[in-house]
A = this chain, B = another copy of it.
Amino acid sequence: MLSNSSKYALKAVIYLTLHTDDTRKMTVKEISSHIQVPQAYVAKLLQDLSKRDLISSTRGPKGGFYVNETNKSLPISSIVYAVEGRKQFSSCLLGLEDCDEEKPCPVHHRIVSSRSRFLEVLEKTSIAQLAGDLKAKKAFLQ
């Protein structure tokens, strides 16, 4: 459903949302140890997210990654799409080039509703909302 990279990125960003802000940053080492994802791997992912302004970072001592208020309010789809693109989420389940409502593949109508519900969740749920569930102990990261 999601690539490993997306999963790792989401876990990292959620973790950052719980534990950082403009005044509290966190190093890759800390993050990776807490979410149990290889350090070099999560570093690459976070660097990319930072370059795209989906999270924030500062270099040097006392530096690290963090999320600001703007970052927190982004939908989880922004992370997923940044990491693995959006194509696979909208393309035909059978891979047909011009499958649509008018000329549907045989599975199209059968899965269109569940798929759009899924995408709606990705696009309408913010990182902050997920973090909120964690804070309220309604959900867990491990």
Contact = CB atoms under 8 A, between A and B. Distances in A.
Contact of A139 (B88, B106, B111, B114): B106
What size tier do the contact residues of chain A reach? 35 or more
Give the copy number: 2
A141 B4 CA distance: 31
Given A106-B130, A117-B117, A125-B110, A1 B140 contact: no
A17 to B, nearest CB: 10
Contacts of A93: 1-2, 7
A113 interface: yes
Contacts of A121: 107, 110-111, 114
Contacts of A7: 93-95
In the A-B complex, list the 4 residue pairs whose CB atoms are closest, starting with the nearest: A114-B117, A106-B130, A106-B139, A7-B95
29 contacts: A1-B1, A1-B88, A1-B93, A2-B95, A4-B95, A7-B95, A10-B107, A11-B95, A96-B141, A96-B142, A98-B142, A99-B140, A103-B140, A104-B138, A104-B139, A104-B140, A105-B141, A106-B139, A106-B140, A108-B139, A110-B121, A110-B125, A113-B117, A114-B115, A114-B117, A114-B121, A115-B118, A117-B117, A118-B118
